[in-house]
Amino acid sequence: MNPKILIIGACGQIGSELTFKLRSIYGDENVIASDISYSNLDIVNSGFFEIVDAQDYASIKGCVEKYNIDTIYLMAAILSATGEKFPMKAWDLNMNSLFHVLNLAKAKFIKQIFWPSSIAVFGPSTPTESTPQYTTMEPTTVYGITKQVGERWCEYYNQKYGVDVRSLRYPGIISWKTQPGGGTTDYAVDIYHKAVIDKKYDCFLTENTKLPMMFMDDAIKATIDIMSADNDVVKIRSSYNLAAISFTPKEVAASIKQHIPEFEISYTPDYRQAIADSWPKSINDEEAREGWNWKYTFSLEDITKKMLFQLEKKYNTTVK
């Protein structure tokens, strides 16, 4: 029997692609998209859509009851860079929405939850290379704080109330379909847009800032894989480390220049540099690989080819 799914934050970068993928698997009638506004018409017009305020328990509960929802993917959040500009807004949205969904599960209105965490849970005192699953976590951003606290609450609700909540610590996510959502790793998306449009890009990080990254298709696959895994193999109920590749702005620029030789990159580091410097350079995701057979697919060259090909069509231009 197919799950009855509600995606909260379905108009966002990950939520939108997750919505389409889940609908292709479970059918349009079993996947309800929701957000606070009609900001993504592709999502709004593609199937069942509801206005749901992630900070309003009654709003979420009403949608759950209307469609007999048993599974929620909570994708609504204020990300790292935006969160530093609006810290209390980030705290309120990121924490209240999680509590509402956890409490719905505690009260048996729903059976299963996916909640995304992030590499932002780590901080300057964390080992930066091959960061392990269990390590020091002293985040220096509001976003990272909300994710670290959220992980503890997820584990608590699982142990105390038996809530089936599952989570992944996403690295930077790269996609051509939607615009970035205010994260520190957004340069790795924007650089491809600027390469196709302007043949140049001014990066807000230094050239050798190495960060963990992942193509959207891999992130969606990991999300669906962990939610489909048997309950007894999901051993970690805080959040799993998740990894694919790590690269620097200099390396992604070199990859682009293989296809657009005239592409130029400059560097003007801003406040996001300090955020990036507090994060790991690479992630050890052994627990995910051994626990539910996670494996990434896309290399940097694969990502560059796919991004440039799709953005060429989007902007009706030609990349050699």
Cα–Cα distances in Å, from 115 out to 77, 204, 245?
10, 29, 22
In DSSP notation, 113-130 reads EE--EEGGG--TTS-SSS
- Between 87-106 and 57-67, two packed helices, what is the crossing angle to 10 degrees? 40
Give CA–CA dist 83/29, Å, rounded: 34
Please give the biggest Cα pair distance in the chain.
59
Are 176 and 291 contacting, i.e. CB atoms less than 8 angstroms apart? Answer: no
Residues 6+ apart with CB under 8 A from 107: none
Positive or negative, the Cα torsion across 93, 94, 96, 100?
Answer: positive
Sign of CA dihedral 242, 183, 214, 270: negative
The residue whose two tokens read 């560059």 is 304
Known catalytic residues are: 143
Q: Are 204 and 269 in contact (CB under 8 A)?
A: yes
